[in-house]
Amino acid sequence: MKKILITGGAGFIGSHVVRRFVNNYPDYHIVNLDKLTYAGNLANLSDIEDKPNYSFVKIDITDASAINQLFGRENFDAVIHLAAESHVDRSITDPTAFVMTNVIGTVNLLNAAREYWKDDYSNKRFYHISTDEVYGALGETGMFTETTAYDPHSPYSASKASSDHFVRAYHDTYGIDCVISNCSNNYGSHHFPEKLIPLAINNIKNNKPVPIYGKGENVRDWLWVEDHARAIDVIFHQAKAGETYNIGGHNEWKNIDLIHLLCKIMDDKLGREAGTSAKLITFVTDRAGHDLRYAIDSTKLQKELGWTPSLQFEEGLEKTVDWYLVNEEWLNNVTSGNYQSYYDKQYNGR
């Protein structure tokens, strides 16, 4: 039986990866490591928590000694590393938290892999899940490929770029089998409502303003989170050591167009008169250093490993809205207490 450590498994993308591996690979034991920050929620995994090939451990990856003890206790065959601070806006107000988790946390895991796997790196794998934001911003044309030079702009993307570099350095220096993938914006169920799509769904549902940064002209490439989890599965099992793959949906949307589509779906689902939700759109001060456009070329992944996105965006967005409307309790739980959207806290009234 293979033992795989998945970090950040209680988060949005991580929970989809954990679920997929637990369900599809009964001969693997999946250890989910998560700090359970505001964005980590074990309720995301309630459907698989009793499976015999799943266990959970609450650890902060900045705690090197806890990581080392875990590696000493468990004989991991592989690490799939998703644990990260991921919200660009939060990184603008508290960059250090991003350096700690995303850079130091990653290096702590790499050090443990180096120490505990050193007798034989050949049957081990360290897979780092990263972002297309490391490549910087595009103008109106062009796409990021795996050879695009890194040019991060936000503290978040700078921290992910740094962690990518450390992963490559440990591959080149120590010979650890490392793989990296850089993915575009994900959407789907269990997404914490500080990010654009779930925030807008939640606000429209509650008749609150939907904040659009700047003029809403920024472009993002959206991918169904389960397609991302499937890409991670394929890359984990098939990529050669040292490889990098871009993952994207070939699905670019201006923020404002996406929100109009979402408003239309919400009007339909909530039985509101057409145009009601769109009245909630509110243009607010732009994000500092806001990257204009991301577009990612996943040809390498498609050609070499045969992965393609499965779901059309309109269908996926409707499914996502349905999930949030049915899972009201989940939404109320994660938004209760003193949670406020980043916009409410940082930008309101500016």
Ligand X SMILES: Cc1cn([C@H]2C[C@H](O)[C@@H](COP(=O)(O)OP(=O)(O)O[C@H]3O[C@H](CO)[C@@H](O)[C@H](O)[C@H]3O)O2)c(=O)[nH]c1=O
Residues in the site for ligand X, rule: CB under 6 A? 86-88, 131-133, 184-185, 195-196, 199, 211-213, 218, 220, 255, 287, 294, 343
Q: Which is nearer to ligand X, 3 or 87 (CB)?
A: 87
> Nearest distance from residue 88's CB to ligand X, in Å?
4
Choosing from 54, 156, 187, 324, which is the catalytic residue? Answer: 156
> Nearest distance from residue 225's CB to ligand X, in Å?
11
Residues belonging to the chain: 350
Q: Which is nearer to ligand X, 35 or 220 (CB)?
A: 220
The pairing of strands 2-7 and 125-131 is unpaired
Choosing from 133, 221, 252, 297, which is the catalytic residue? Answer: 133
Q: Which is nearer to ligand X, 85 or 177 (CB)?
A: 85
Q: Closest residue (Cβ) to ligand X?
A: 131
* Residue 133 a catalytic site member: yes
The pair of three-digit structure tokens given for residue 302, joined into one six-digit string? 């498609």
Tell me if 31 sits within 8 A of 76, measured CB to CB.
yes
Q: Which is nearer to ligand X, 5 or 296 (CB)?
A: 296
> Nearest distance from residue 231's CB to ligand X, in Å?
14
167: left (phi over 0), alpha (psi -120 to 50) or beta: alpha
How would you label 127-157 residue by residue, b for 16+ Cβ within 10 Å and e otherwise? bbbbbbbbbbbbeeeebbebebebebbbbbb
> Nearest distance from residue 230's CB to ligand X, in Å?
17
The pairing of strands 178-183 and 125-131 is parallel
Q: Which is nearer to ligand X, 244 or 255 (CB)?
A: 255
The secondary element (H helix, E strand) that includes residue 211 is strand 210-213
> Nearest distance from residue 135's CB to ligand X, in Å?
10
Triad 201, 84, 79: Cα angle to 5°: 120
Choosing from 34, 89, 132, 243, which is the catalytic residue? Answer: 132
What contacts 24+ positions apart, CB below 8 Å, involve 114-118?
114/170, 114/174, 114/176, 115/68, 115/71, 116/68, 116/71, 116/72, 116/76, 117/176, 118/174
* Residue 156 a catalytic site member: yes
**CA–CA distance from 327 to each of 186, 189, 190, 324, 333 (Å)?**
19, 9, 9, 5, 10
Sequence-distant (6+) residues with CB within 8 A of 303 are: none
The pairing of strands 178-183 and 244-247 is parallel
> Nearest distance from residue 185's CB to ligand X, in Å?
4
* Residue 315 a catalytic site member: no
Q: Which is nearer to ligand X, 51 or 287 (CB)?
A: 287
> What residues are annotated to the active site?
132-133, 156
